[in-house]
Chains A and B, each alone.
Chain A
Amino acid sequence: MESKHVNQQIAAMRQSFFDEEVLDEFFSQLEQLEDQNNPNFVEEVFTMYFRDSTTLLETVEQAMKTISITLAKMDKILHQLKGSSASVGANKVLNEINKTRQVLEKGNLEGTKAGIWEMRKEYDSLKAKLEPYFQLKQANSVPQEK
């Protein structure tokens, strides 16, 4: 069946996320919160996440370009990113954030820059992987609802 095939595809995609450790257990938690009333809860959460963190990440990148940025401010932003990434289960992104924060604490600006760059990489990667996933999921569920 087409839907069955799609389902399999979705499942495979999902599994890969875990295998690659792109996502962690918290993602599962979010999935658990999904139910009939909120079939797209996870997607909604991620939409929000992507929206906010994009802004944050950009701010961080900008900040790095600015000379007058204070480390404290940077840390604050990273902390925010950390909180939300952890909550959604964005594992790799979270790891990069933690690494960057540690480097930042030591006052290593260059290292921080590199860290942020890594963060950005993982973040974009996550987004790229999840978006088709959700689309597929969404598409799959629609026919079923009908």
Chain B
Amino acid sequence: MTFEKDINIDATELRLGLPGTSEESERQASTTLRISNKRALPSVADEKQCDQETAPPTKAQVVGWPPIRSYRKNNLQTKKTEVETSGMYVKVSMDGAPYLRKVDLKIYKGYPEVLKALEDMFKFKVGKYSEREGYNGSEFVPTYEDKDGDWMLVGDVPWEMFVNSCKRLRIMKGSEARGLGCVV
């Protein structure tokens, strides 16, 4: 019977999603756009997400899906955006100083620059850095907390890795600064 060809069911079907997309293409798109199972660093994952958003929008986020109240979504996102926005602002504290500060790591090109900025900000001087001994010649030692929650010495890892994994900075003072690697 030829009448079946005349009835284009799909055209009259009401769905969310742009015209020209179909379930198959959506499902295919979903498998190709899947990232690996490992939890990627937010900044890396973010880059990938940006690519997805500029790709043909077969996977546009649907209104009200998944069914989470926006209050809950927003409250978790406020935490993440502190690290993921294009300005990489991290909090800096110094032992003994009454106030915290914030620096944008993205504006610095390397360790010497950011250390100089910290020195100016908090009016102190770091010692001389060596891979083996850390900072020598000053009671102030710049440290940072990384993605995994570990406290590291500033300068131990390559600059890019530092910028991507640094959550906050702390300028430690005196005896605390020795024996770094323990949880504060």
Q: Do A and B bind each other?
A: no
Interface residues, chain A, CB within 8 Å of chain B? none
Chain B residues at the A interface, C-beta cutoff of 8 Å: none
